[in-house]
Amino acid sequence: MGKKIEFGTGGFRGVISDNFNKENIQLIAQALANIIHERNQEDRPIIVGYDNRFMSDFAAKWFCEVLNGNGIKTYLYTHVVPTPTVMSTTRDMCNYYGVMITASHNPYYFNGIKIFTKGGYDADVEFTSLLEQKIQEVGEVKTLLERPARRKELLEDYENLGSYLSHIKSFIDPTVTKNKLRVLYNNMHGVGVIGLKPLSEKLHIHQFTIINEEHDAFFGFNLPNPTKEALLGEFSETVVNQGYDLGIATDSDGDRLGVIDERGNYVSANEILAAIYYYLITERGYKGDIVKNCATSVLVDLVAEDLGYKCHEVDVGFKNITHGINEFDALLGGESSGGLTMKGYIYGKDATFSGALFLEMVIKLDKPVSRIIRELKQRVGYHYNCSEDNIVLDVDAKKVLDYMVNHLPELSMKHEDVHIFGRNIKFLFNDRQWLLLRLSGTEPAFRIFAEFEDEEVCEKLTKELKKYIDEVQTLLIKEK
């Protein structure tokens, strides 16, 4: 079997029993161990966490077996945890690396591995490229089984939920008191409930009803991602029919947040990010710019400008958000896929954290969610329509992107400028309108984002771009 293992923007992900298997898991662990030895970093342990996915607990133990076999101490969580917990621990323990077994929001038949570096950052491209290289060079995989590893004190159980939640609580307004808020929370069979359930008590929420709390490795055969498609329908109808003030949902590993307002409308990640930012500045007295990725709405820019601050745009990948927060000394950073973080918190997105802030905002403003969002848009003059689409490729996606960078399509609406953000091509039009082509970091596909004043223009330009991509694919196939 070959060693073709690639890390994207969200780590390594693969189909269970295909490329996510014991052999590849241990290859990655051995490659990491080799890097640790080369850098003389054996003096710090590695924290290893895992979520509810099928084989996550086994994969975590297999990963530890290899690190332990190489004389590297590991702390293994005693229970499933959200991904941000491992990031937080990596930072707090001043470890060189942390490991999380998860495929984030992917379908149930996927699993994966996220690597975090010192400070709790997502591993950057430079490190993951090195890791991929070391995987190819692995000769012998050294292992040490659990019992002897424990006898040698190379493997220890670990649990720090209390300190993780305490850190989040330190960001919550201490003046929040008992309230009449009624919240329906869809855990989507993930691990977000581990943090949001106790935090709902800290926020003194009158009614916090949890659904899909139980462990289900198949996630009810639904995509465990709180997107518009996932939340509209039965969940949104329940929010309305049973009189809840709002519904919230988190993805399978607890870093993405979704919201439904009291009328059953989906509140986008763009709106969540903009609303929390506005609330923190105007009600909590915080100061600072904001960072977004290139696929995030201009609503965030308008809010920042209205407040007298600046919105900084970066490439897709949350590591770019966190580096942007540091570079620009920004208060907040987030992306359109549903994640955000704040200066002083961890260097990654966390749905427990963002969910707590959103609920606090609703309590303190004492307004319906729909009104909060409507008033914010009216204040900054937001009048655009957003759309998202995707196209699965039959050829090497990187080759299609490379071709398009050098041969831009002629669209029916003339663009004013083009920005290249890593794997993304962004067409800029007048009046802040834009169209983005983004190469997926986890599958052979493109994501297409559009934001225009006219909804029909969004649809038209998206179709034109998809047609051009098909033409490029046909051309590349003929050239083979």
Do the beta carbons of residue 312 and residue 328 sit within 8 Å? Answer: yes
- Residue 58 located in a structural domain: yes
pLDDT band at 454 (very low <50, low <70, confident <90, very high): very high
Last residue of a domain, one of 160, 186, 217: 160
- Residue 172 located in a structural domain: no
Residues 265 and 1: their CA atoms lie apart, in Å, by 48
* The Cα angle at residue 50 between residues 49 and 56, in degrees rounded to 5: 140
pLDDT band at 3 (very low <50, low <70, confident <90, very high): low
Residues 192, 230, single domain; the answer is yes
Structural domain range at position 215:
177-380
2-11, 147-156, 193-202: which has the minimum mean pLDDT? 2-11
Residues 121 and 129: their CA atoms lie apart, in Å, by 16
Residues 89 and 83: their CA atoms lie apart, in Å, by 10
Fill in the DSSP letter of residue 298.
T
Quick one: pLDDT at residue 193? Answer: 97
Quick one: pLDDT at residue 140? Answer: 94
Residues 226, 146, single domain; the answer is no
What sign has the CA pseudo-torsion 364, 366, 370, 375?
A: negative
Taking residues 401-418, what's their average pLDDT?
A: 93
Residues 201, 341, single domain; the answer is yes
- pLDDT tops 50 at residue 471: yes
- pLDDT tops 50 at residue 126: yes
Residues 338, 433, single domain; the answer is no
Quick one: pLDDT at residue 480? Answer: 67
Residues 195, 248, single domain; the answer is yes
Domain count, the chain: 3
Could you give the residue ranges of the DSSP H alpha helices within 283-368? 299-306, 318-328, 351-365
- Residue 170 located in a structural domain: no
Quick one: pLDDT at residue 442? Answer: 65
107-111, 245-249, 434-438, 441-445: which has the minimum mean pLDDT? 441-445
Provide DSSP, 394-431: SS-HHHHHHHHHHS----SS--SEEEEETTEEEEE-GG
Taking residues 180-204, what's their average pLDDT?
A: 96
Do the beta carbons of residue 346 and residue 91 sit within 8 Å? Answer: yes
Residues 361, 393, single domain; the answer is no
- pLDDT tops 60 at residue 310: yes
What sign has the CA pseudo-torsion 197, 198, 199, 202?
A: positive
Q: Which residues, in sequence order, are CB contacts of 344 under 8 Å at separation 6+?
A: 171
Quick one: pLDDT at residue 338? Answer: 84
Matching residue, tokens 């955000």: 340
Provide DSSP, 266-314: EE-HHHHHHHHHHHHHHTS-----EEEETTS-THHHHHHHHTT--EEEE
Do the beta carbons of residue 56 and residue 50 sit within 8 Å? Answer: yes
Residues 42, 182, single domain; the answer is no
- Residue 165 located in a structural domain: no
Residues 182, 300, single domain; the answer is yes
| Edge-to-edge strand ranges of the sheet holding 332-335 | 311-314, 290-293, 332-335, 339-342
Q: What is the CATH number of the domain that holds 400?
A: 3.30.310.50
- pLDDT tops 90 at residue 457: yes
- pLDDT tops 90 at residue 10: no
- Mean per-residue pLDDT over the chain, rounded: 94
Considering only CA atoms, give the Rg of the chain.
Answer: 22
pLDDT tens across 371-407, in order? 999 999 999 999 999 999 999 888 888 889 999 999 9
How many CB atoms are closer than 10 A to CB 339?
Answer: 25
Last residue of a domain, one of 104, 133, 160: 160
Angle at which helices 22-38 and 56-69 cross, to 10°: 40
Last residue of a domain, one of 160, 187, 216: 160
Do the beta carbons of residue 455 and residue 388 sit within 8 Å? Answer: no
Measuring CA to CA, which residue among 103, 81, 122 is closest to residue 16? Answer: 103
Do the beta carbons of residue 334 and residue 327 sit within 8 Å? Answer: no
Do the beta carbons of residue 274 and residue 300 sit within 8 Å? Answer: yes
User: What stretch of H or E contains 110?
Assistant: strand 110-117
Give the type of residue at 216: D
Residues 54 and 160: their CA atoms lie apart, in Å, by 23
Quick one: pLDDT at residue 367? Answer: 97
Residues 330, 195, single domain; the answer is yes
- Residue 474 located in a structural domain: yes
In the structure encoding, which two tokens stand for residue 52, read together? Answer: 């509810």
- Residue 168 located in a structural domain: no
User: Residues, the chain, total?
Assistant: 480
Taking residues 112-121, what's their average pLDDT?
A: 95
Residues 78 and 290: their CA atoms lie apart, in Å, by 36
- pLDDT tops 70 at residue 247: yes
62-71, 150-159, 310-319: which has the minimum mean pLDDT? 310-319
pLDDT band at 478 (very low <50, low <70, confident <90, very high): confident
Residues 412, 364, single domain; the answer is no
- pLDDT tops 70 at residue 412: yes
pLDDT band at 1 (very low <50, low <70, confident <90, very high): very low
Taking residues 123-145, what's their average pLDDT?
A: 94
- pLDDT tops 80 at residue 88: yes
How many CB atoms are closer than 10 A to CB 146?
Answer: 14
Residues 265 and 33: their CA atoms lie apart, in Å, by 48
pLDDT tens across 332-386, in order? 999 988 889 999 999 999 999 999 999 999 999 999 999 999 999 999 999 999 9
Three-state DSSP class for 21?
A: coil
**In terms of C-beta density within 10 A (0-12 exposed, 13-18 middle, 19 or more buried), how is residue 194 classed?**
buried
- Residue 5 located in a structural domain: no
Residues 34, 129, single domain; the answer is yes
Fill in the DSSP letter of residue 432.
G
Q: What is the CATH number of the domain that holds 355?
A: 3.40.120.10
Taking residues 251-274, what's their average pLDDT?
A: 97
- Residue 363 located in a structural domain: yes
Residues 356, 309, single domain; the answer is yes
